[in-house]
Amino acid sequence: MVAYADTGFIVSLYLPETTSPQAIAVAQRLKEPLPVTPLLILEFRNALNFAVRNKRIDATQRNRIWKTFEADIKDGIFQHAVVSVAAVHQKARELSDRYTPKIGTRSLDLLHIASALTLDAREMLTFDERQKTAAKAEGLKIAP
């Protein structure tokens, strides 16, 4: 496994965001499927529902995007990744002790970094600055 993308990166592939051109450019250079964990799937669905709540999209558009995402999994753009919840949470607690007092990482940031590390990813795809800082300190290459 080469890269792990957080939810913000994935959202940028499906909803128009200021970061969408960068996300698309990075995604096009990838040679392996991006892993999707249960956490990532939940967060992506929730992001779509927030977009409905904020009237960026309607429920019909949300369902269409969701079906496209599911098709992208079937087509091998993404790949379901099984991670040990206990291992990810243990790693996230360790990361919290190292980074939250200094840079204010949030729990979900830590869970994404811990997932990437648990999956032996070498690269973290994120637009979140705190997440970038902590992931880089853990030895992950950062993009975009």
Residue 116 has pLDDT above 80, yes or no: yes
Strand order in the sheet with 123-125: 3-5, 123-125, 141-143
CA 91 to CA 80: how far, in whole Å? Answer: 20
pLDDT in the model for residue 141: 97
CATH number 3.40.50.1010 is the correct assignment for the domain at 3-82+120-143: yes
- pTM of this prediction? 0.94
Where do we find the tokens 């637009």? 127
CB 105 within 8 A of CB 131: yes
Express each pLDDT in 6-32 by its tens digit. 999 999 999 999 999 999 999 999 999
Domain ranges of the chain: 3-82+120-143
pLDDT in the model for residue 8: 97
Express each pLDDT in 42-91 by its tens digit. 999 999 999 999 999 999 999 999 999 999 999 999 999 999 999 999 99
